[in-house]
Amino acid sequence: MSGSSRIDVNELLRRARTGDQAARDRLFAACRNYVAVAARAEVASWLKAKVDASDLVQQTLLEAHRGLANFRGETEAEWLGWLRRILENNAADYVRQYHGVEKRRVGREVSLQRDDDSERGDFELSDEGETPSQLLMQKELQLQVADALIGLPEDYQEVIILRSMQRLPFDEVADRMGRSRPATQMLWLRAIKKLQEAMELKE
């Protein structure tokens, strides 16, 4: 079982701010998968050819470590929202760095946080009303969702990120993954089922 499924992030935040190094280490370890999944969903397809999402993860966590004293929130949702903003700022820097290549299509690439309340940082595992993902949209499960997703096979991760996070149509997901549309739809259904099963094991 992943540590983040039982970790009280609010308590770790409080302890980390008092100088507890062990709590600080546990806090960042618990959130690493969340940042990793967020980075993969954030990085546009044109950027993937030049920048690995792991670069964004490393940079984001490094800046968060260095800037922890600047975090003014108190809750897990605020903390994850703060990490998201650091990640998005770093992604924007990469966009400017590679200004000459095709820019991201903002309307099609949906990050894990898309809400008027920028502090929430919720996962957006949308399937346009199809039921398998709905249980996974609960904001209190966002760290557990990330841990469960990271534990899936690579093709399951990819289809969920492309379809349920970036909200690409199945035809485009199939094209990116080099599969037929029916095969991609079946893969997505299997991936969502495995994700749900992994979530149930964390309860």
> pLDDT for 88-107, tens place per residue?
898 888 777 765 454 444 33
Q: Nearest to residue 141, comparing CAs of 158, 155, 125? A: 125
Q: What pTM does this model have?
A: 0.75
Domain that holds residue 195: 3-201
Question: What does each C-alpha distance from 98 to 61, 92, 94 come to in angstroms?
Answer: 22, 10, 6
Asked whether the CA dihedral 12, 112, 101, 50 is positive or negative, the reply is positive
Number of separate domains in the chain: 1
Which carries the bigger pLDDT value, residue 171 or residue 203? Answer: 171
pLDDT digits (tens, 9 = 90+) for 133-158: 444 445 556 888 899 999 999 999 99
